[in-house]
Amino acid sequence: MANSEEGCSTQLIDGDGTFNATGIDRLIKEVKLGECGLSYAIVSIMGPQSSGKSTLLNNLFATNFREMDAFRGRSQTTKGIWLAKCAGIEPCTLVMDLEGTDGRERGEDDTAFEKQSALFALAVSDIVLINMWCHDIGREQAANKPLLKTVFQVMMRLFSPRKTTLMFVIRDKTRTPLENLEPVLREDIQKIWDSVPKPESHKETPLSEFFNVEVVALSSYEEKEEQFKEQVASLRQRFFHSIAPGGLAGDRRGVVPASGFSFSAQQIWKVIKENKDLDLPAHKVMVATVRCEEIANEKYADFSGNEEWSQLEEAVQSGPISGFGKKLSSILDTCLSEYDAEATYFDEGVRTGKRKQLEEKLLQLVQPAFQALLGHIRSGSLDKFKEAFDKALNGGEAFSVAACNCFESFMALFDEGCADAVITQANWDTSKVRDKLKRDMEAHIASVRASKLAELTALYEAQLKEALSGPVEALLDGANSETWPAIRKLFRHETESAVSGLSSALSGFDMDKQSKGKLLSSLEAYARGVVEAKTKEEAGRVLIRMKDRFTTLFSHDSDSMPRVWTGKEDIRAITKTARSSSLKLLSVMAAIRLDDGDADNIENTLSLALVDSTNVAAKDRSITTADPLASSTWQEVSSSKTLITPVQCKSLWRQFKAETEYSVSQAISAQEANKRNNNWLPPPWAIVALIVLGFNEFMTLLRNPLYLGVIFVGFLLIKALWVQLDVAGEFRNGALPGLISLSSKLVPTIMNMIKRLADEGANAAANDPHRNPPLASKNFTNEGNASSEMSSSASSGLTESDYSSPSKQD
């Protein structure tokens, strides 16, 4: 393959007719032809050797085809067919440079390749350039008339009609105007078309159905190079958008997508090659006499004792032998050749018949060894297939792809082994051994498929169990009116996710819809089973769950803090709320409701029977109603979905109430004790008596304000002591424990208060030096004032302690 800045080229078909599949694939990949879809064009050129075809293409399409060296004389420059990309032309255009016709290198008789290449060009090209000299118009050979005639005839037989543009390029145009040359060419082409024998389906088909004919003329490249290049540049413009309506190939039909061009061209060339020779050589027949039979028996005995054959026969029992068929064929061929040499002069008919008998006897002798070899090849291929198949699956390859690839690969390996073992003289059928290998491979694939499907199913079942068990348990633990809708939503989401994942995983197994649907349905049923099993498990612990929920709600407030029974709480309302929540839990656990249509009136039934009926009976015991729980089934709920029957619910509720009564009675007792402890004020009648009997003392206080000051200071002292000693808190535990505690703390508290007052007074004196006169007399004179100030400071200190003590205690 050649590369340059202008483009790239490769030899598509060599001079021997071998198709270069690797080269064209590499070219197509490099020019990204596969991305073009139908937007591409194929141009080819044919014509006499050394007529300047490559030069024209290089100037017209900026390709890099090899050109003839004029100084070395005229000779074959292009061998076979070369393919290149046209630079700078849209859409993507590929051009084929064909080997020239009438070349002396191939000789006069070998025109088969010329015809094949011309037919190939017409079959795959949208535009075919026919290069011809101007002075050769009207000449039979130079104008390619016989070649076109053959190509027209064979093309109609091999290929379906497609529209191809034939552009005749007249080189070295003379003074004769193109208007005079073009009619002559068109008339010659029409005559060729009319003279070609056509099949019945194309008897009346006109030339225009298969071809568009265009004629252009170019000046001499050597004598008028500048004019030649201008004309080529003008012609180049016609190849832009050549496949658009009105373009050179605007009405083409049967276009192959660009990604399939390589394969299409290869198959077309294969068909053309298979039709190269239509005559088959005749087989010669010889006759032998009685002597031929004697010669045949002699040769059979010689073969049986042949040392090389004996070694092959012994070796094949232990394993496969490389080149077995070729070696044995050679021995047989030698034996038969010796027979032929000795029986040459005998009657041809007899000689041939006896030779055939000899060959059959020899083949019967070697057939057991051949069958043993096939057995070794079959077992070896099967073992390698299993190993490669397992390796491909472990490497992450899709099951069906791995199975298909390995199956085809090792069936091909078996075929290669059979081809190596084939004896030229025999025509034995290896299909039975091949079918046995095929069945063994298919059985192994089926076994592995079943194993892999079981692993996949187990994997997604484990994922479903993990995804459903925990969340379902959590939802049932926090049972409320949205529990089953939430479980249904979770069930659908996880099931759809698992089914989708399994479905994607199963896509690599190439399963039929019925088998795939069966596996997916099984996974859905497993998911339902997980939810139902978890629900049944939780239903078995429903009484414990109910008591836990009642305890949680009854013993904790809305902030989840432990509840203190101070006397302000409504125990009846709290108890009712906790029991209603527990009843909700019982109703959720009573039946499985995984389907949208499942009835969900169990909670109302339980509430009516266990809560409302109690209230109604308490109000009017004369009313007698039917018990809705006196049944073993729930209304509109199948027995398969029932976890706790109505009768069991009634029994569980009775047991639940009995086991929670103690907590309620304890709360009531604690509340009453707390009320008694907090009621430290005297009775109202005592307060009224104090007011009546103490009226005179109250009036005395009003007449003497000094008493009020003393009482106020006393109040402050008592208030400070009250706060410091936390009298209310001490009496909370009872009167006697409170008195004992206060008696032990009273004296230390008073001493602490006095000490603090003294410290504050000293600090105030130290911080104010102007209040300390130097003379002792002033100290003595102001002693009364200092005492007054100390009294005031003590009063303020008591007031401060009144407000500061609670914060310090807090």
Distance (Å, rounded) from C-alpha 746 to C-alpha 729?
Answer: 15
- Annotated binding residue at 555? no
Give the pair of three-digit tokens for residue 594. Answer: 């995984």
The DSSP result for 470-487, as a single string, is HHHHHHHHT--TTHHHHH
Give the pair of three-digit tokens for residue 101. Answer: 């016709």
- Annotated binding residue at 584? no
- Annotated binding residue at 52? yes
Distance (Å, rounded) from C-alpha 788 to C-alpha 772?
Answer: 15
The count of other CB atoms within 10 Å of the CB of residue 795 is 16
Distance (Å, rounded) from C-alpha 26 to C-alpha 28?
Answer: 6
Of 148, 115, 98, whose CA–CA distance to 275 is shortest? 115
Cβ neighbours of residue 222 closer than 8 Å, sequence gap 6 or more: 70
Cβ neighbours of residue 504 closer than 8 Å, sequence gap 6 or more: none
Cβ neighbours of residue 115 closer than 8 Å, sequence gap 6 or more: 147, 150, 151, 154
Distance (Å, rounded) from C-alpha 557 to C-alpha 564?
Answer: 9
Residue 542 Cα distances to 261, 536, 583, angstroms: 73, 10, 10
Give the pair of three-digit tokens for residue 265. Answer: 């061209």
Give the pair of three-digit tokens for residue 163. Answer: 């529209």
For 742-776, letters b (16+ CB in 10 Å) and e give beeeeeeeeeebeeebeeebeeeeeeeeeeeeeee
- Annotated binding residue at 319? no
Of 41, 46, 40, whose CA–CA distance to 166 is shortest? 46
Of 417, 350, 425, whose CA–CA distance to 385 is shortest? 417
Distance (Å, rounded) from C-alpha 172 to C-alpha 421?
Answer: 61
Backbone torsion region of residue 287, taken as left when φ is above 0, otherwise alpha when ψ lies between -120 and 50, otherwise beta? beta
What phi and psi, each to the nearest 5 degrees, are found at residue 45? -135, 135
Of 589, 464, 597, 574, whose CA–CA distance to 537 is shortest? 589
- Annotated binding residue at 49? yes
Cβ neighbours of residue 239 closer than 8 Å, sequence gap 6 or more: 41, 43, 60, 61, 86, 89, 93, 127, 248
Give the pair of three-digit tokens for residue 479. Answer: 């049972």
The residue length of the chain stands at 810
- Annotated binding residue at 47? yes
Distance (Å, rounded) from C-alpha 574 to C-alpha 557?
Answer: 10
Give CA 246 to chain center in angstroms.
Answer: 46
Written as one letter, the residue type at 677 is N
The count of other CB atoms within 10 Å of the CB of residue 68 is 20
Distance (Å, rounded) from C-alpha 506 to C-alpha 664?
Answer: 59
Distance (Å, rounded) from C-alpha 229 to C-alpha 235?
Answer: 10
Could you tell me if 86 and 93 are in contact, meaning their C-beta atoms sit under 8 angstroms apart?
yes
* 705-725 helix and 695-703 helix, angle to the nearest 10 degrees: 110
Distance (Å, rounded) from C-alpha 539 to C-alpha 762?
Answer: 76
Cβ neighbours of residue 580 closer than 8 Å, sequence gap 6 or more: 607, 611
Distance (Å, rounded) from C-alpha 690 to C-alpha 26?
Answer: 119
Report H helices in 620-694: 646-678, 684-693
Could you tell me if 268 and 116 are in contact, meaning their C-beta atoms sit under 8 angstroms apart?
no
Of 651, 661, 642, whose CA–CA distance to 547 is shortest? 661
- Annotated binding residue at 395? no
Provide Rg for the chain, Cα atoms: 57
Residue numbers belonging to the annotated binding site for GTP: 47-54
Residue numbers belonging to the annotated binding site: 47-54
